[in-house]
Amino acid sequence: MTGQKFQDLADIMQKLRLECPWDKEQTHDSIKGATIEETYELIEAIDMKDYDEMKSELGDLLLHILFHSVIAQENKHFSINEVIDTIKDKLIRRHPHVFSEVKVNGTEEIVRNWEEIKLSEGRESVLEGVPKNLPSLARAHRLQEKASKVGFDWEIKEDVWKKVIEEIEEMHETERRGDKAELEKELGDVFFALTNYARFLGINPENALRRTNDKFISRFNYIEKKIKETGKKLSDSTLQEMDKYWEESKKVFQ
């Protein structure tokens, strides 16, 4: 049943490319922004635990996979069947403990084997495969994860925290010297060190910052709502008034 449903969807996509003027005009480049947007919408649905929305967003993402595959087939690059074969072969190759006689002792060994297999596939660095277009915080986290999988890592969590403090002090010293050219670099080092500490705490820093952003929006919207109820504009309000409602918002949005 699943195979037939997938074929029905693929047939619809093919029909759209033949008969819909808008779909005909699209290219990999013209829809790549929408592909990224659909991915973030899926993440938002996951965060909200909205399973109806998640179902819808997964469908949108599946549509984009088919869309890119159909465009590629038209240009004689590859087909959706080749996409499926590629991921199928990759999953089997990278799980020898499931599909062959390889024995492993726990998840850490599985992860280490995974990285070794990827290197044997032609990659020159364990850091390859981390997209440059990832948000920088998420990219830092993935780079650190990948390096740690081959043993390049701190041994003691407390030393990671000391590194965070060290980087903050270096940033403050750079600011005191008035060295604007170096300040951005030092701030980047602070973010990188904090990201590493988050990893040791078992926290995804991108998820953590996204939650904080959402909390800030909710609290600031509360200020806007309360100011509006007084009949004033936000721009006409004092900082003291806004601070009052900000403190109130903390009780509403934890």
Per-residue pLDDT 10s for the chain (254 aa) are 578 899 999 999 999 999 999 999 999 999 999 999 999 999 999 988 999 999 999 999 999 999 999 999 999 999 999 999 999 999 999 899 999 888 888 887 887 887 788 878 888 888 888 888 888 999 999 999 989 988 899 999 999 999 999 999 999 999 999 888 899 999 999 999 999 999 999 999 999 999 999 999 999 999 999 999 998 898 889 999 999 999 999 998 88
User: Is 15 in the same domain as 48?
Assistant: yes
User: Is 174 in the same domain as 213?
Assistant: no
What is the distance of C-alpha 153 from the center of its chain? 22
User: Is 199 in the same domain as 216?
Assistant: no
- Could you report how far apart the first and last alpha carbons of the chain are, in Å? 45
Q: How many domains does the chain have?
A: 3
DSSP assignment of 38-88: HHHHHHHHHHHT-HHHHHHHHHHHHHHHHHHHHHHHHTTS--HHHHHHHHH
Q: Which of 203, 227, 243 is the last residue of a domain?
A: 203
| Residue 119 counted as domain residue | no
Structure tokens that stand for 159 in this block: 């030393």
Cβ within 8 Å of residue 133, ≥6 positions away: 36
User: Is 189 in the same domain as 234?
Assistant: no
| Residue 115 counted as domain residue | no
pTM of the model: 0.72
Residue 146 belongs to domain spanning: 136-203
Residue entry with tokens 């003691």: 156
Q: Where are the alpha helices (DSSP H) in the chain?
A: 2-19, 21-25, 28-48, 51-74, 80-93, 96-99, 107-120, 136-148, 157-177, 180-201, 205-229, 239-252
User: Is 9 in the same domain as 88?
Assistant: yes
